[in-house]
Structure formats: C-alpha cells, structure tokens
Structure 1
Amino acid sequence: MFFKKKKNLEYYVKRGLRVGNNVECYSLDGIDALFPWLITIGNNVTISTNVQILTHDSSTYFVGAHTRVGEVNIGNNVFIGTRCIILPNVSIGDNVIVGAGAVVTKNIPSNSVVAGNPAHVITSYDHFKEKIMTDRKSSYIIDKKCINNWECISDEEKLNIREKIKNRYCYLG
C-alpha cells in the first residue's frame, strides 16, 4: 500500500477506511472524514490528485431532512483520474477507469471506462486497453527514469521529443 501522505492514512484507517493491497492515493484530503468507515477501496487502485470521495450529502438537511449518508465501494484494478468526485451510495466495479473530472453519481459497471458530468460509460475497459496498446506500438517512448529528473535529457533531445509528439501522445517506458 502506497499513500503519498502517509501521516493521514492512519487517521482514516483507525476510523474504519478499508484499503486493499497495492493502492496509490495521491491525496487523502478528499476522503470523507465524517464517515471513512463507509468507504472500501479494493486492490490495485490508483486515486489521482484532488479526488473527492463523499459518503454524506448535507444538502438534504437544508430541505428539512437529516444529512443523507451512503457507502462508497471501489473495486479492484481501478484508476480514478484527477479532480473526480465520487458521490455517496456508489459502487465502482472492477477494471474501471474514471476519466479526469468525472462526477460519479451512480454505480459504474465492471470493465468500463467512464467520463463526464454525470459520469457515463464511453467504452469498455478491454477496448480502451486494446486501443492504447496498439497506439503505443507506433509511438515515441520516453525513458521513465527521467520522470522528475529531466536533467537526464539534453535540451536538444527535449526539442526532438516535442517534434516527435507534435499532435500525438508519447508514452513513458
């Protein structure tokens, strides 16, 4: 288990957050601190930066009801992109990619890629994987050892990379 802010993990786990193996969470600030015991995160999950995982909805209080509360279950092999919002009473299946900025308002089926507000299925996980792996075969690959160490690439090589990826993606290898 790998959390970028390890000091906060213990706080949430002591309050019942359930976390599987091989989980990367790049910010814990968005995990609902009132009801962390209603959140389950499966194995092989990446939660990007500025993701909000909510287990309560206080807007109901303002219309005369008490605060509404619901579980959030995140399956295995899930990637949640930056700035996503996961609302209460939602389950995300296995093998799911949630695109950046998505607002998850209802259950997401296994083996799907979702995006948008509200989040909706845009393709299957397998189709996405096939498309990416095919694209990767003909794309420029940057050595991943250079991540956060761009001094290992000369300015000339950086310009060369920019030319090679003009109007297309490259990948880190």
Structure 2
Amino acid sequence: MGRKMWSFIRARFRKWLLEEKWLDDYIKLGMKVGEGCSIQPGVIFDYSHCWLIEIGHRVTIAPEAYILAHDASSKFAVGHTKIGRVILDNDVFIGARAIIMPGVTVGKGAIVAAGSIVTKSVSPGSIVAGNPATQISNTKDYTEKLLLQMLDSPTFDYSYLLTQNLSAEKKEEMITKLTEKSGFIV
C-alpha cells in the first residue's frame, strides 16, 4: 500500500477512535461553506447548531478559532439558550484562537485578529481586535502599510515553506534575515 493510502486509513481510524468531526460532517448537517476557503486544523464549529453558520467564498479561518451559534450562559438567567446565525462574508480572515459569538456577521473583507472575542457584527473592510473586539483599523490602511513594509523587508519564495522539504540551510537563512524585522513569503 502507498503512503497516501496509509495516511487516509490512519486519518479514518483516528476520526472513528476519537469521534472527531470533519468539515464534511458539519456540511451534511447544514453548515454552508463557500469555495476557496482555508480552514486550518483545530477550528471548532458549533456542532449542535452548525446549520446556523454560513461561510462565504475565500474565507480563511486560522487554527483553533471557535465559531459559536449558541450561548448557554443565558440558560440559568432566563431558562433559555441564546442562539443566532453566524455569517462570515466573502474574503474574511479569522485569526488563530478568535471566538465568534452567536448573531455575529463578519462583513466582506474584514479581518479578526488572533485571540479576539467578537460579540457584535464587524463592518466590511474593518480590522477588529481585543476582548471584546473593537475596530482598530481598516483593510485599506493595512494594505498600504504592508506594501510599504515590503519595500524594505526580506522576501522568500514558495520553496521556503515547510511543505517543500525546507533544508537546514534555508531555515538558517530565514532565521538570520528575520533577526531584526519581519519578512514575507511570496
């Protein structure tokens, strides 16, 4: 058996053994996911209400983000669990370990910073951060800032990714060039 077949069998066994939920499981239950999305490992979707979650096209969700469509903290106070739709519009970026609460819409092209807790909807093109998340910038200003940074920063091509069997020499080169400033991968 080939290496890919063993990886497939191992993944299926792990899913069964650990009762893992895969993206397909959520979609079968009604969650909508657009085309060209990048959903990283460890993202938690609200399994009990996943049909209330809608993800647009070209959305990136970084590792260990939480997307919640219910909030049981209301149960003790009023005897009911709060629920709400969660909509991540097209071209949205959700940072690592961000939490998106029920009833939130993240507008087209918006960025949610890592670790943020989003309790209110985010306007298109906004950048939000914090707990609770508040607007800190917009994507137009952020893009201009990045373009200026790129003029004076180290840039590395695709061969510098770990998935490309990155050599020890290339790793050391990156470490050296990134000692005093951040850089970019093409």
Give the TM-score, by structure 2 length.
Answer: 0.83
SS in 2 for 1:34: helix
Q: Where do 1:102-117 residues align within 5 Å? A: 102-117=116-131
Distance 1:41 1:73 in 2: 6
CA distance in 2, matches of 1:160, 1:145: 13
Amino acid at match of 1:168: K
Give the one of 120, 124, 144 matched to 2:138.
Answer: 124
Over the aligned positions, Cα root-mean-square deviation in angstroms equals 1.8
Q: For residues 94-145 of structure 1, give each alpha carbon's deviation from its aligned partner in whole angstroms, at most 9, with x where no partner exists.
A: 0111110010000000011111111111111110011111111211012222
In the alignment, what sits opposite 1:17?
31
Equivalent residue runs for 1:46-65 within 5 Å: 46-65=60-79
Structure 2 residue aligned with 1:164 = 177
Find 2:93's aligned residue among 59, 66, 79: 79
Secondary structure in 2 matching 1:43:
coil
Partners of 1:21 and 1:80 in 2: how far apart?
Answer: 16
Could you report, residue by residue, the CA deviation over 1:49-68 in whole angstroms, capped at 9, with x for unpaired residues?
Answer: 00000000111112242111
Q: CA distance change for structure 1 residues 144 and 55 in 2, over 3 Å: closer, same or farther?
A: same
Gaps of 5+ in 2: 1-14, 16-20
1:44 equivalent to 2:80? Answer no
Q: CA deviation at 1:9?
A: 1.7
CA contact (8 A) 2:43 2:61 kept: no
Please give the alpha-carbon distance, in whole angstroms, between the structure 2 residues aligned to 1:166 and 1:29.
31
SS where residue 120 of structure 1 aligns? strand
Question: CA distance change for structure 1 residues 22 and 109 in 2, over 3 Å: closer, same or farther?
Answer: same
- In the alignment, which residue of structure 2 is the partner of 1:152? 167
Q: Offset of 1:84 from its aligned partner?
A: 0.3
- Distance in 2, matches of 1:37 and 1:93, equals 19
Letter in 1 for 2:151: K
More helix by share: 2
Unaligned stretches of 5+ residues in structure 1: none
* Count of residue pairs brought into register by the alignment: 166
User: Which residue of structure 1 aligns with residue 108 of structure 2?
Assistant: 94
Structure 1 residues 29, 113: closer, same or farther in 2, change over 3 A? closer
2:159–2:166 CA contact under 8 A, matched in 1? no
Distance 1:119 1:158, change over 3 A: same
SS at match of 1:129: helix
- TM (norm. structure 1) is 0.88
Tell me the percent identity: 36
